[in-house]
Amino acid sequence: MSTTAKTPGTGDSGNSDFARAGAHGQSRSVPRSESEDPAPKRRAGRPRTSVLSRRLILETGLRLIDEVGAHGVGMRAIAKELGVRPSALYNHVAGQDELVAGVRELISDRIPVDMFVREPWDVALAEWAVGYRRTFAAHPPTIALLAVLPLSEDSVTSQMYDTVISALMRGGWPADRALTLMVALESFILGSALDLAAVDDMMDPGPRRDVPAFSEAYRSRAEHLAARGEGPAEASFQLGLRALFTGFRAEYAALGLAPTSAGAHEAPPAHR
């Protein structure tokens, strides 16, 4: 295989795919686009055979999804991008379902959860929401894809959820309510991530006379935001987050909830 070949081989044996990946020239390595995520960068001199890993396959899948959208990014496209046969990928990723699940794991794994071991439930939960939104907004095409994806049985996303729900339960929330609340917050986070991924003037009604209140609001918002140096998506996220937590705390107070004897600040078993 030449160093410029990006198409997979046509043979039916996958045995030599590691060697094929290793045959790439040092200066070329894995073919990449200019807009790539820098995460999978390799050190010079590291054995080429380590190029083809589950991690690299998932990182490549995520990069392709970011570049061309969620549709059509499958094992074949990733193999082509990596310059190996599709069959070689199956040593690391069982198929399309595991690929999509794995991409979700990659993203979930970047959402900070360490605040849950040191902050009260509401402070930690709000910080989690901020990090969660920021992480997903960096990969807009994944939002709708992953928002409806069932959890696999070894998902690290489940570990993140466990950390969140543990913290809510230590705070005094009943288990069932903790889950319902987390999902409600997650809906706001994912909707806000979509909003953050849109252009800032998405809500511009344009020059028209039949929507005077909307037009006035759009102009007025632009002035207020310019004065504060804040983006429109950020302003709405902050207003919504504040409102949600006012409501969560009111519900907490109304239910007469209190932290369990384990205490909100005792070191819980964090997963990461």
Residues 96-155 that bind a second copy (CB under 8 A): 140-141, 143-144, 147-155
248 binds a second copy (CB under 8 A): yes
| Distance of closest approach, residue 165 Cβ to a second copy, in angstroms | 5
Query: Rounded to whole angstroms, how far apart are CA atoms 209 and 199?
Result: 23
For residues 38-61, b (16+ Cβ closer than 10 Å) or e, as one string?
Answer: eebeeeeeeebeebbeeebbbbbb
73 binds a second copy (CB under 8 A): no
Length reported for the chain: 272
Answer yes or no whether residue 197 interacts with a second copy by CB under 8 A. Answer: yes
Q: What does the block give as tokens for 68? A: 């061309």
Closer by beta carbon to a second copy, 52 or else 137: 137
Residue of the chain from 12, 43, 176, 229 that contacts a second copy (CB under 8 A): 176
Answer yes or no whether residue 175 interacts with a second copy by CB under 8 A. yes
Q: For residue 18, give every residue at least 6 positions away whose Cβ sits within 8 Å of its Cβ, in sequence order, or none.
A: 49, 52, 88
Q: Work out how close the CB of 86 gets to a second copy at its nearest, in angstroms, rounded to a whole number.
A: 21
Instruction: Say how many residues touch a second copy, by CB under 8 A.
Output: 84
Residue 208 and residue 123: Cα distance in Å, rounded?
43
Cα angle, residue 239 at apex, residues 234 and 244 outer, rounded to 5° = 125
Residue among 165, 172, 167, 184 at smallest CA distance from 244: 184
| Listed residue (247, 142, 231) closest to 185, CA to CA | 247
- Provide the sign of the torsion angle of the four alpha carbons 93, 97, 100, 105, taken in this order: negative
Select from 19, 39, 94, 250 the one that contacts a second copy (CB under 8 A): 250
Contact segment (CB under 8 A) with a second copy among 23-31, 52-60, 94-102, 227-235 equals 227-235
Q: Nearer to a second copy by C-beta: 112 or 140?
A: 140
Given 38, 45, 47, 207, the residue binding a second copy (CB under 8 A): 207
46 binds a second copy (CB under 8 A): no
75 binds a second copy (CB under 8 A): no
144 burial type by CB count under 10 A (0-12 exposed, 13-18 middle, 19+ buried): exposed
CB of 156 to a second copy, least distance (A): 10
Backbone angles phi, psi at 125, to 5 degrees: -65, -40
Q: Which of 84, 166, 171, 264 binds a second copy (CB under 8 A)?
A: 166
Query: Counting contacts by CB under 8 A, is residue 1 touching a second copy?
Result: no
Question: Given candidates 67, 119, 127, 162, which one binds a second copy under the rule CB under 8 A?
Answer: 162
Q: Does 202 bind a second copy (CB under 8 A)?
A: yes
